[in-house]
Homo-oligomer: A and B are copies of this chain.
Amino acid sequence: MAVYTEVSDEALSAFLAAYDIGTAVSFKGIAEGVENSNFLLITTRGQYVLTLYEKRVDPADLPYFLGLMRHLAARGLSCPLPVAAADGALFRPLAGRPAAIATFLPGVWPRRVRNEHCAGVGAALARLHAAGEGFALTRANALGPAGWRPLFERSAARSDEVRAGLGEEIDTALASILAAWPDGLPRGQIHADLFPDNVFFLGDEVSGLIDFYFACTDLLAYDIAVCLNAWCFEPDGSFNVTKARLMLGAYAAERPLLPEEREALPVLAAGAALRFLLTRLYDWLNHPPGAFVTPKDPLEYARKLRFHRAARSARDYGLD
């Protein structure tokens, strides 16, 4: 949760003048999103979210991210629709940063995940994958398998500060996962970060997906693996196979999984756990003292990684 950049009312007025969405009636920083600054913007025409892209987002990626959101929304997926300025631009400078306006999405993200949520997110993920077809741009997964070894090397020497033996455990897992990483599975546009705070619900129904700033072009089943990690473990660390079965079943009802995708689930899930372990480990070791954002515990993902490394087949995820 963070608003990093302050926007003056005059700068906002000048910015809005480039759009055809009326003038500001309210403008409040939202305490959500750790990567960018988000503001709820109410104008004389409607409700919007204004995002200022902070340093972790490369402006060169914005045409992909914002274009993908427009592509998905045009195909009926409920996600924020980036609003073009009068000159057609999807982002413009504000307070020294690139900024974009998107439509406001109703819904509340689940603080405690229930079974019904897992079915909803599985179906929504499959619809996202289908809606992504035909999008012309691609973006490599900067946090995909090719990036894990270099990412680990930035933390390797200090890994054992977090827990004795962690570095060796990661090193072994990394070699094993990369050796077994599947080739030739269906690829497409993936969200790659579909955690509960990025999925809005109204009641038990998914009302929309947000935060496409890790989206990329990669294995569709890897996106499922991220969700298994993000949604199907209980706070005590146990894996809830009922949640996994509901998620995978709802996904497969929209897009049937190939046999080779099912077989790859354990290694994909282990890779996804490793990816979050590595970024959390780096953030844990490198956050400035007194940082605004408390880093997340990397060991949560070390435990998830162990679960997936012990899994033998899709059966361990509730599939028959």
Contact = CB atoms under 8 A, between A and B. Distances in A.
Interface in A107-130: 107-112
Interface residues of A, number: 34
Interface string A143-165: 00000000000000000000000
Contact of A9 (B1, B26, B42, B112): B112
B289 A9 contact: no
Nearest to A105: B26
A9 B110 contact: yes
A145 to B, nearest CB: 34
A139 B29 CA distance: 32
B31 A30 contact: yes
A48 to B, nearest CB: 13
Interface string A18-56: 000000111111111000000010100000000000000
Nearest to A2: B31
A10 interface: yes
A199 to B, nearest CB: 12
* Max chain B C-beta neighbours (<10 A), residue from A8, A108, A290: A108
A106 interface: yes
A29 B26 contact: no
Given A290-B290, A291-B290, A6 B108 contact: no
A12 interface: yes
B31 A112 contact: no
Nearest to A110: B9
Contacts of A109: 9
Interface of A: 1-3, 6-10, 12, 24-32, 40, 42, 104, 106-112, 201-202, 289-292
Given A26-B108, A289-B290, 4 more contacts: A7-B111, A10-B112, A30-B30, A290-B290
In the A-B complex, the 7 residue pairs with the smallest Cβ-Cβ separation, listed nearest first, are: A290-B290, A29-B31, A8-B111, A3-B31, A25-B106, A31-B31, A27-B108
15 contacts: A1-B29, A6-B111, A8-B112, A9-B112, A10-B111, A24-B108, A25-B106, A26-B106, A26-B107, A28-B30, A28-B40, A29-B31, A30-B31, A30-B40, A289-B290
